[in-house]
Structure 1
């Protein structure tokens, strides 16, 4: 039996930290060699942060009583020897629950009261209001206390029908989906809207985030949960009952909330849980297998996915087998096969993304650093020509050369005025580019859509407004590229003049690329379309729901635009870093050349001695270039996890990409 998901995830964590340490050591070496300019340092720090702080979110989604919490117990908490998430009959998770780790917080569970649904603040905004949450301490070393506290996510309360309607749990147009009314005219709703569990579980400390979601009503009432957290999860596990197959409510969750962001072939899996319900002692193992295969085929057909993406298992038997240490029962439960599929789908894919980011970043930095080495080599060549031309020359010639070097230095120093003007224009143009990605631009483009959603009644024509909104958002990206092209043209022309007049060797910057911006906007547009269809007409008629929808959209947009702004900032720094590097190197070169001439004037042996020093310096530069190549190749060919080795395209992936979730943030 191969390594479990926990073991494979732990291996990924060790790999990430080891890789980040290698990058930190590389950054330290560059600093020692005085090759660490601002752009290279910024790029390296971002890559290190991405590797060290990378989050991997696994979302478990299903209708009530499909065994989500039990599967979480079986995969992540079996070492406690008991259930931690509430999963016994009559006790199930009633509110979305995030499990993660933030070292800045104590071990605790924070609960957001359901009454906050009466206001339009998004979940992200509530996260920034810690006083609103009820905080409970957790003792991770006491399984009973831990389970008792987390069991509060199963709590409910009774409210009137009007209150249930306001909170989003009652729909007059769909009475069959409404909760039962008791003899007092009250209905039962969840007590809490959202739960955040912060604990130092080994996997959570490595960056894993677990999202446990309740049934259809709770998921559908939280647009931010569906189109932000679930859509951005690195793996989504959708659970069905082996005894029921795909029910009407299962199909509703799949079509309305998962299908828009479904990524078959990567890390979206469907689980046919509770296969032990078919172990009745009457049917043979072969007959049970036939029943399971038939259920898989029928479920795959209804969900319109490959049957290979549907994995049969028994979470309850898997948990029992791990607690009792029974390998035979564990194999029969199907849990190991699921854990392996989940690990291969999520961990290998995640590592390939990180490798792509590092590959592109290291290649780009290698080019920038090599350029600085070439500048040093050119300066040494100039010194060598000067020194060799002094052989056999008298003091007058040497003094004349010193005056010529000083004249070159004065001429070079006069470039500071031109460079200052260049920096001023560059800063002004970059500020214009950043304005297109700022919060003001985003709010302006969302105003029309917000107005279309905020009034009561049917929202006719809202899809047209929605489409035009995203068209304008894409135009903002076009404006950013146009502004960057203007910066590129300005820098290219200025660099050409500086090269000709002052002896620089500046290269025109590469064009700005915003491929991930376009892709993220497209994915966001598709994920929200589900809320604008005919099936959600009645929900959209509620202005409170419309406001929550627009706030959730705004939060996701902010993340996308912040990532684009980070890309723009990195591009800008890389474009001008070579100017700073060459200024620094040329100033050093002039100082060394004048010092050499002075020493030659005062010592007969100074000329040959300094020629030898320059030759030695050239040899050291050659070694430095070779060391750079060796270190970069080591970074590009670090061992990968088993099963994660794949062809990696050398492309720069933005650091802190929009696919990461933000668990447990204050």
Structure 2
């Protein structure tokens, strides 16, 4: 069969996914360095209070550990593993992921990088499905996994090791049923029975590949999933991993288009009402099967275009989200440096879609988070500088008022300052009482969002699912659980509103009585976690369809689904709690900073009076010192603006990752 080359408006290569990810990684590394230097500068100038330090820590962790997960999903024999080879591993000049004819990926496989773990392949035995622990717990028990060390410099050894994910076992029908691969009531979905009466099932439940591939080191995580039967049998894959992927690449065969099983995967596991369809790409793979020597390039292209339009219509996507590709020819082209074949494979078009889509959205989200956090950090640090500026202005006014005054007036001034200091010390009891009320209300919020509350909800849901005749009421049981969870979030929001009102009143009173400049921090927005709950509920309700009704009738499967739900809810509630804790720290740190500065202010004022009493020249000297300090505060404020502006303005992809920014040298 001859190769047909054709032209298309979408074949300009642009920046490949690999290049875009390289730029993204360089930007993240550079940003983390700048953030560290900013932290040192803030510490040197005593601007690093608890709230500022916490914001810096979280932002630095976010930038260093940010992951971009791309899930590749397909029914068997669609060329999914070959596509992963072509996009990510062509640099090895051979296949790395197994991609021979037939079923190659028998278990979900995650490729990522953890510097704390040596290069290895870890495999979780399929028998763990018979035990109650969710996948997240198995991840924390490395001794339960079969481990193979990897040599990242030996492509042949890597490829041989990765063949393990294709391994199968042959078990009795009873064992297959217990493992979730055999259902008496839906025989069309069951695997074939061999001549010995045994059923073929995957040998492994999950695979984790840890290698120092350049893209994986920069935070890319690739999730390679098996076909419909395996996806449906593993709840955590469907309701946790795939929904949390930043992008889903769904692979179809170009010659068959959307088959019945393809459509089942799409509707039941990948897309639901309200989902962000823009994060989904569909690949029409194996377009080389249409390269027909008896057809003209124009005829071939017309056939591909028709299949593309039909696929987009069936799946409810924009035509641009359906990309025709030949992964096999793209891999061959990269291995052989064949530019002409690479263009024909259309692989560069897919890479561009990945880079502009996934990386573009990911960078936008990160940059929005960066701008918001840096803005809040700057506000916190600026407030400390304003306190210093105000105290210096008060001292300047006080000292200038002493010019030409006699000793008795100066002595009287000292007595007045000492009395102010005693009165201020007494105010500590009032502030402590306010904090006690604040912490009592805060504990209510922590209880509403805490682990114990969530465990109670999961126990109640499990009990409901075990009730006789529940099969048709499963969706309602889940709906009631999520209604209670949302109500709990609303109560937490109402209580945080009470705390915010109390803080506002207390801060206003302290500002009036003691000349503070306290400003309540922004109240946490817990409503956005309701939206997270909506997404989690939607993925579960979608999973609870008719096709899984039989599985849900099995108590052990229903329990596994509840544990998968608990894993995802834990992440939502931990994020909500972290936001509440940061809000609390911001309020407490602000009060602590002003108390600390006021005590320093009393000390400085008394020291100034003492110097003035000892020498007449002391007054003018002290006024000169305060003037110098005021200029120093102005310079710090300008430097803070410069450093934070620079962090926000650093353009992604336009940094020198190894350069140390001169403007961030410690001032």
Q: Does 1:203 align with 2:220?
A: no
Shift of 1:502: 3.1
Q: Does 1:628 align with 2:651?
A: no
Q: 2:544 aligns with which of 521, 532, 536?
A: 532
The within-5 A match list for 1:412-423 is: 412-423=424-435
Q: What residue number does 2:463 align with?
A: 451
Shift of 1:601: 1.1
Shift of 1:67: 0.7
1:75·1:339 contact (CA, 8 Å) conserved in 2? yes
Q: What residue number does 1:567 align with?
A: 579
Separation in 1 of the partners of 2:513 and 2:320? 66
Q: Does 1:75 align with 2:87?
A: yes
The within-5 A match list for 1:72-111 is: 72-90=84-102, 92-111=104-123
Shift of 1:505: 2.6
The within-5 A match list for 1:70-219 is: 70-90=82-102, 92-219=104-231
2:181·2:229 contact (CA, 8 Å) conserved in 1? yes
Q: 2:298 aligns with which of 277, 281, 286?
A: 286
Separation in 2 of the partners of 1:248 and 1:436? 44
What TM-score do the two structures reach when normalised by structure 2? 0.94
Q: What residue number does 1:390 align with?
A: 402
2:78·2:253 contact (CA, 8 Å) conserved in 1? yes
Q: 2:390 aligns with which of 378, 381, 401?
A: 378
Q: Does 1:13 align with 2:32?
A: no
Shift of 1:224: 0.6
The within-5 A match list for 1:440-519 is: 440-454=452-466, 459-519=471-531
Cα distance per residue 1:475-513 (max 9 Å; x no partner):
111111122122223323332333333332322343331
Shift of 1:532: 2.2
Q: Does 1:3 align with 2:35?
A: no
Cα distance per residue 1:351-404 (max 9 Å; x no partner):
111111111111112222222111111111111111111111122111111111
Query: Which range moved further: 538-547 or 37-46?
Result: 538-547
What TM-score do the two structures reach when normalised by structure 1? 0.94
1:231·1:261 contact (CA, 8 Å) conserved in 2? no
Cα distance per residue 1:605-640 (max 9 Å; x no partner):
111111111111112222222222222222221113
Q: What residue number does 1:661 align with?
A: none
Shift of 1:587: 1.2
Q: 1:25 aligns with which of 37, 46, 57?
A: 37
Separation in 2 of the partners of 1:262 and 1:482? 27
1:313·1:333 contact (CA, 8 Å) conserved in 2? yes
Shift of 1:259: 1.1
2:252 counterpart SS class: strand
1:164·1:170 contact (CA, 8 Å) conserved in 2? yes
The within-5 A match list for 1:247-646 is: 247-260=259-272, 263=275, 266-454=278-466, 459-641=471-653
Query: Which range moved further: 97-106 or 292-301?
Result: 292-301
The within-5 A match list for 1:31-70 is: 31-70=43-82
2:177·2:183 contact (CA, 8 Å) conserved in 1? yes
Separation in 2 of the partners of 1:132 and 1:413? 59
1:79·1:323 contact (CA, 8 Å) conserved in 2? yes
1:449·1:462 contact (CA, 8 Å) conserved in 2? no
Query: Which range moved further: 425-434 or 190-199?
Result: 425-434
Shift of 1:92: 0.6
1:262·1:268 contact (CA, 8 Å) conserved in 2? no
Separation in 2 of the partners of 1:501 and 1:458? 62
Q: Does 1:233 align with 2:245?
A: yes
1:380·1:614 contact (CA, 8 Å) conserved in 2? yes
2:76·2:102 contact (CA, 8 Å) conserved in 1? no
1:458·1:540 contact (CA, 8 Å) conserved in 2? no
Separation in 1 of the partners of 2:648 and 2:152? 39
1:266·1:346 contact (CA, 8 Å) conserved in 2? no
1:506·1:578 contact (CA, 8 Å) conserved in 2? yes
Separation in 2 of the partners of 1:630 and 1:82? 49
Shift of 1:455: 5.3
1:173 counterpart SS class: coil
* Aligned residues between the structures: 642
Separation in 2 of the partners of 1:525 and 1:311? 31
Q: What residue number does 1:658 align with?
A: none
1:436 counterpart SS class: helix
Alpha-carbon spacing, 1:512–1:265, altered in 2? closer, same or farther (3 Å): same
Separation in 1 of the partners of 2:103 and 2:158? 16
2:384·2:593 contact (CA, 8 Å) conserved in 1? yes
Shift of 1:286: 1.0
Separation in 2 of the partners of 1:10 and 1:190? 35
Separation in 2 of the partners of 1:143 and 1:509? 54
Unaligned runs of 5+ in 1: 643-666
Alpha-carbon spacing, 1:456–1:247, altered in 2? closer, same or farther (3 Å): farther
Shift of 1:515: 3.6
1:372·1:581 contact (CA, 8 Å) conserved in 2? yes
Shift of 1:264: 5.1
2:169 counterpart SS class: strand
